[in-house]
Amino acid sequence: MKLSWQQAAEKAADLVAGWNAGEPGGVVLGFDRRGPRFAHAAGLASLEHRLPFTTATPTRLASITKHVFCAAVLREGMDLRAPLGALVPGLAPPIAAVPMRRALDMTGGLPDLGESFGLIGIPGSASLDRPTLLDLARSLPGLNFAPGSSIAYSNTGYRLAESALQAPFPDLLSRHFPEHGFAYPEDEAEPVPGLATGYWRDPARGWRRGRYGLNFSASGGLACSADTLMRWALRLMAGEGGTARLWEALACQGRLRDGTETGYGLGLSRAPLPGPPLWGHGGSLPGYKDHILMLPGAGAGVIVLSNREDTGAYRMSLEVMAALAGLDLPSAGRLPIGVFAEEDGPFWVESSGDALQLLGAPEPLHAAPDGTVQGLQPHLPFRLRVEAGGLEGRLGHRHARLEPVAADAPLDGRLLGSWTGHAFGDMARLDIKSGENGPELHLPGVSSRRLALRSLGPGKALAERPNPPGAYRFAIWLEQPNSLVLVSQRSRMLRFQRA
């Protein structure tokens, strides 16, 4: 395979040119078996101290951590066929029955812990320690879907897997990969020498520091520099430094019960592009956006690490890799602007024309050869076309038909009233009322803010809870005449009964 390092370097330079001096920035690093082939860095690692971002600047890897953890799990010999309940006591029966492999490859239906309590008003900036989070995971009542029937991103399996290990994750790293070079802080309050500060831009107040109060876990807790991550990736692809035969296991994509290959393995996902296999993973924490993309056939890769929330790290790594390997990226796709929802199910999408929010998770639209539009994230698969005035296709590997919802559609009156349920073991209450400015929702949690509701058609409504630097967008779905479910991309099992 002929690689054009000059074209890749030029593309990387163009991409980082948007990171202005005096603002947060990052680095794009290209490498192969000989080491770094180019590196373009721009912006500041610290606005407070005016420190430049370089290839030696540590940053939070977030979910890039996942494949490193899975490598340690494999070296430790954990039985991935074992049900979670055999390794972690106290789980709800549906969660306890999920095999560890499905808990890690996103096909287990596990609700994401952070998004679940975010729906009821506990922000990601809340300080919660490891034992508390494990107790909250044990109180999750059920699954988003039957194991092996679909795929949806969740960090919960990684936290549970970490708790099942007989030794702490840092000890396993040192035991199995003595040259790893990673830091694994307990939480954001623990100092990491030289760590870049993460930032997001508030339209009114400018750059703000990202906040993440939760205890870190093996789903996203590691920190390191681009140089360190490159050295790890090279050893992993070459099977060196304790990683012999691990690549094949990590890049073995999961399968649904019907045999569908998902493109997501153990902490690594395959970019759904024609040509040589590209494997990698992205990471996101408030103020940090990262991605690594590896071309194992050539022992090459691209790393994007950034300490600014608005960085499209996955797209950047794809564009640089396409320039390197001469690949054609799919063109932008288009769908009608509007909101579309299932008539008798929980799924909904919001289209801005060139991007989609699928159950609240954003994804750019890409044109597929068969005339559909698709996403490029294996853990968020969709393929849709305009059909008979609505949208039809597959969401999460299952068939879906979505009808347009008028912006002024009235709220289904069956949703009005008071509802009670158990959220993380406690009795919770939500109220849906007709307010002065339209229908509104009051949910439990630390915030008493009332949320405006938009109708999604019969039995459904859309709400948004602010959670800077983003927001939780979720639906309220009347699953049964007297039973409501809160529905988002990563959490679909919090149920409330009519009071």
Q: What is the pTM of this model?
A: 0.96
Domain boundaries, the chain: 23-69+167-325, 338-405
Which parts of the chain register pLDDT below 70?
Answer: 444-448
The confidence score (pLDDT) of residue 7 equals: 98
Nearest-CA neighbor of 405 among 462, 487, 362?
Answer: 462
Cβ atoms of 95 and 140 closer than 8 Å: yes
Identify the pLDDT of residue 78: 95
Q: Which pLDDT score, from 0 to 100, does residue 447 have?
A: 56
Nearest-Å Rg of the Cα atoms of the chain is 22
Looking at residue 63, its pLDDT comes to 98
Measured CA to CA, the distance from residue 160 to residue 162 in angstroms comes to: 5
Exposed (0-12), middle (13-18) or buried (19+): which is 208, by Cβ within 10 Å?
middle
At 424 the pLDDT is 78
The fourth-level CATH superfamily of domain 23-69+167-325 is DD-peptidase/beta-lactamase superfamily (3.40.710.10)
